[in-house]
Structure 1
Amino acid sequence: MEAEIISIGTEIILGQIANTNARFLADQLRRLDINAYWQTTTDDDPKRIQAAIRQAQKRAQLIFVCGGLGPTPDDQTMASTAKAIGVELALDDDQWQKIQADFAARQTQMTPENIKMAYYLKGGQPLSNPTGMAIGAYLNHQDHTYVVLPGPPREFKPMVTQSLIPLLKQQFGSGRAIYSHNLHFLGQPESLLMDEINQILVDARIDDVLATSYVQPGEIQVRLTIHDVTEDQALLRLTAAEQAIFKQLGQYCFGIGEHVTLAAQVVKLLQEHHWTITSAESLTGGMFQSTICSVPGASKVFNGGFVTYAAQAKEQLLGVSPSIIDRYGVVSAQTAKAMAEGCQQKMNAKVGVSFTGVAGPDALENQPAGTVWIGIAIKGQPTQTRLLHLSPKMATRQWIRQRSVQMGLLYIYWALQNKTN
């Protein structure tokens, strides 16, 4: 089965946003043994949308048209798709009633264009939108299947997984059994990690399991996949592959599954161990604390922390001795240690973590951008400090800050994995 993904949006063409929807959809299709060999991007112009669809008709049976289903004048996707394939639009009365009720509940005035979100391709079926107002469409017409989907990722992804995938499985299920497990890694370069994983699978004679990687912010996701076996056989082979990988690379793997984050894993372990955590942040500016607080249940392990950007704040709020800063500077192991111990003592927490360094673009204290010290103070244990060298040539200031937070979480994760009471 061959498919084409057409992404609609002037903001994508102009490079104002990243096209994450096409990547997500292609990954979902791969799991169904559907290959999206072609991916096209065009702006909101109706003529170019129609031209893209007509081009896709020549080379793909399954055509996805994504984005542009809102109520504004530039949202022309549903009407343009209908015109390109020669069908009319139909109004979903139930959806139109829901839209009107939603506006009434929010006491917001409607415009005539809002009805556009309740139209779909006549002869097909509407795709429900679990998190938004604009419905999608699914139509089989003259040897092609057309799928129209919204643009905002918060609407796109739930519609794909909840409304679309069951229909695709029913119509295009190949019968091939495909089983996958996701592993989440941090702390190793992608190329080195994949070389080691592939060699591990060869040495363990598990060559029927395929390992592929996907770099995301804050982690490397590795998918182990096996085809054409029973579910029991797949579980045995995937488990064997995981165990072989963990034996050599376990310290870099922080979880298995579809929706795993390092922050959630750390919060979970803190709860299990009845530990509390606090932090003192300089270059990260509160990002570590915000990341911890984004996890449900964080209030059980986190009571508060410090943002001590200036040297004076480190001295006044954390009790860092001025002599340490004068002698070693703020970008130093000694200052990171004093910050971690200071916040841990001030909040009476089990764990105190500190971040101090240079996010860039300029150097500080003759230290280049990307130099980061992280301190980990655990009550009853010697304080540890770790140095990161994050190249500003390969990343932005924001990436350096995010990477520092993720590495801090990883060090805490290691400490929790090897905890001693």
Structure 2
Amino acid sequence: MEAEIISIGTEIILGQIVNTNARFLADQLRRLDINAYWQTTTDDDPKRIQAAIRQAQKRAQLIFVCGGLGPTPDDQTMASTAKAIGVELALDDDQWQKIQADFTARQTQMTPENIKMAYYLKGGQPLSNPTGMAIGAYLNHQDHTYVVLPGPPREFKPMVTQSLIPLLKQQFGSGRAIYSHNLHFLGQPESLLMDEINQILVDARIDDVLATSYVQPGEIQVRLTIHDVTEDQALLRLTAAEQAIFKQLGQYCFGIGEHVTLAAQVVKLLQEHHWTITSAESLTGGMFQSTICSVPGASKVFNGGFVTYAAQAKEQLLGVSPSIIDRYGVVSAQTAKAMAEGCQQKMNAKVGVSFTGVAGPDALENKPAGTVWIGIAIKGQPTQTRLLHLSPKMATRQWIRQRSVQMGLLYVYWALQNKTN
């Protein structure tokens, strides 16, 4: 089955926003063995929208039109789609009532244009919007299937997964599609990691599972894929592949699934172990604490921390001895150790994490940008320090800070995995 994704929006054309919807939809379609061979982007002009749809009719059976379903004058997608394929619009009375009730509940004046959000393609069916007001549309017409979807990702993704995918499975599902599982890694170079994974699959005689890697901010995502089997067969083979990989590379794999973050895994383990965490940050400037606090439930394991950018702050807030800084410098294992122990003791936390280093672009204390020391102080255990050499030639100042935070999280994750008390 061949498909085309048409993305509507002047803001996409102008480069003001990143089109994440097309990528998300293409990934969802791939799992149903539907190939989105073509992706088109156009602005909100009705004539260009219609032209894009007519072009898609020549080469695709499934046509997705995404964006432009709001109440403003430039939201013309539903009407333009109807005109391009030669059908009328129909009003979803139930949705129109919901829209009016929503405005009444919010005590907000409603303009007449809001009724646009309750129209869909006549002869088809409306797609419910779990997180917004504008409905989508699903229509089989002549030799094509047309799908109209909203633009905001927070509305687009739930509509795709909850309203659209069940319809596509019903109409196009064969029971033999493409199935994938995602594994999340950190701490190994991508090329080395993939060489090891591919060899593991060969040794385990799991040659029907394909492993591909995607470098994401703060991690390497490895996707295991199998096709032309039933769902039950896919689950067995993918699980076998995961187990073989995890047996040898488990220390670098922090999660399996679609929406997994290292910070969430750390917070989860902290909660399970009834541990609390704090940090003292220099070059990362509070980024570690912010990352922890971005996870729901972080308040159960994090009470506070320190941003000690200057040497004086390290001495006054953490109790780092001036003699340590004078003798070894702020970018040193000794200072990282003292910072980690200082914050752990001041906050009476189980774990104290410290970051001190050179974010760049200039060197500091004759140490090049990308030199980072991380300290891990766990109550009742010897304090550990780790040195990172992050190449400034291949990264920005922000990347060095982000990478430092991710590695700090990984070291805490390892400590939690090896918990002894």
Which TM-score tier does this pair reach, normalised by the shorter chain? Answer: over 0.9
- In structure 2, do the counterparts of structure 1 residues 231 and 58 end up closer, same or farther at CA, with 3 Å as the change threshold? closer
Say which SS state the counterpart of residue 139 (structure 1) adopts. Answer: strand
- In structure 2, do the counterparts of structure 1 residues 331 and 3 end up closer, same or farther at CA, with 3 Å as the change threshold? same
Say which SS state the counterpart of residue 377 (structure 2) adopts. Answer: strand
CA distance in 2, matches of 1:392, 1:44: 42
Per mean C-alpha deviation after superposition, the further-off stretch among 222-231 and 137-146 is: 222-231
Query: How many angstroms does 1:88 deviate by?
Result: 1.9
- In structure 2, do the counterparts of structure 1 residues 256 and 112 end up closer, same or farther at CA, with 3 Å as the change threshold? same
Contact 2:175–2:230, Cα closer than 8 Å, also in 1? no
* Cα deviations by residue, 1:240-297 (Å, 9 ceiling, x for unpaired): 2122212221111011122222112111211222211111122222222222222222
CA distance in 2, matches of 1:228, 1:301: 45
Contact 1:184–1:219, Cα closer than 8 Å, also in 2? yes
Say which SS state the counterpart of residue 393 (structure 1) adopts. Answer: helix
Say which SS state the counterpart of residue 334 (structure 1) adopts. Answer: helix
Question: Hey, what does 1:122 align to over in structure 2?
Answer: 122
Q: What are the ranges of 5 or more consecutive residues in structure 1 without an aligned counterpart?
A: none
Per mean C-alpha deviation after superposition, the further-off stretch among 213-222 and 261-270 is: 213-222
* Residues 70-109 of structure 1: pairs in structure 2 closer than 5 A: 70-109=70-109
Contact 2:130–2:158, Cα closer than 8 Å, also in 1? yes
Query: How many angstroms does 1:232 deviate by?
Result: 4.6
* Cα deviations by residue, 1:117-137 (Å, 9 ceiling, x for unpaired): 222112211111111111111
* Cα deviations by residue, 1:203-260 (Å, 9 ceiling, x for unpaired): 2211011222233222222222223445554343222212221222111101112222
Q: What are the ranges of 5 or more consecutive residues in structure 2 without an aligned counterpart?
A: none
CA RMSD between the two structures: 1.9
Contact 1:9–1:67, Cα closer than 8 Å, also in 2? yes
- In structure 2, do the counterparts of structure 1 residues 232 and 419 end up closer, same or farther at CA, with 3 Å as the change threshold? same
Q: TM-score, normalised by structure 2?
A: 0.94
* Cα deviations by residue, 1:315-334 (Å, 9 ceiling, x for unpaired): 22111222323333323222
- In structure 2, do the counterparts of structure 1 residues 201 and 377 end up closer, same or farther at CA, with 3 Å as the change threshold? same
Query: How many angstroms does 1:34 deviate by?
Result: 0.4
Per mean C-alpha deviation after superposition, the further-off stretch among 178-187 and 411-420 is: 178-187
Query: How many angstroms does 1:385 deviate by?
Result: 1.6
- In structure 2, do the counterparts of structure 1 residues 113 and 253 end up closer, same or farther at CA, with 3 Å as the change threshold? same
CA distance in 2, matches of 1:105, 1:393: 55
Say which SS state the counterpart of residue 393 (structure 2) adopts. Answer: coil
Contact 2:176–2:230, Cα closer than 8 Å, also in 1? no
Question: Hey, what does 1:400 align to over in structure 2?
Answer: 400
* Cα deviations by residue, 1:120-159 (Å, 9 ceiling, x for unpaired): 1122111111111111111111211111111111111111
Contact 2:103–2:110, Cα closer than 8 Å, also in 1? yes
Query: How many angstroms does 1:17 deviate by?
Result: 1.9
Contact 2:78–2:121, Cα closer than 8 Å, also in 1? yes
Query: How many angstroms does 1:362 deviate by?
Result: 4.0
Say whether 1:353 aligns with 2:381. Answer: no
CA distance in 2, matches of 1:367, 1:100: 63
* Cα deviations by residue, 1:150-183 (Å, 9 ceiling, x for unpaired): 1111111111000000000011113315443221
Per mean C-alpha deviation after superposition, the further-off stretch among 220-229 and 122-131 is: 220-229
Contact 2:31–2:177, Cα closer than 8 Å, also in 1? no
Say which SS state the counterpart of residue 59 (structure 1) adopts. Answer: coil
Query: How many angstroms does 1:108 deviate by?
Result: 2.3
- In structure 2, do the counterparts of structure 1 residues 364 and 126 end up closer, same or farther at CA, with 3 Å as the change threshold? farther
CA distance in 2, matches of 1:132, 1:119: 14
CA distance in 1, matches of 2:141, 2:399: 46
Per mean C-alpha deviation after superposition, the further-off stretch among 45-54 and 363-372 is: 363-372
Per mean C-alpha deviation after superposition, the further-off stretch among 228-237 and 277-286 is: 228-237
Q: TM-score, normalised by structure 1?
A: 0.94
Query: How many angstroms does 1:396 deviate by?
Result: 3.6
* Cα deviations by residue, 1:27-73 (Å, 9 ceiling, x for unpaired): 10010010111111222222222221111111100011111222222
* Cα deviations by residue, 1:80-131 (Å, 9 ceiling, x for unpaired): 2122212222222221221222222222222232222222112211111111
Query: How many angstroms does 1:401 deviate by?
Result: 2.4
Contact 1:33–1:174, Cα closer than 8 Å, also in 2? no
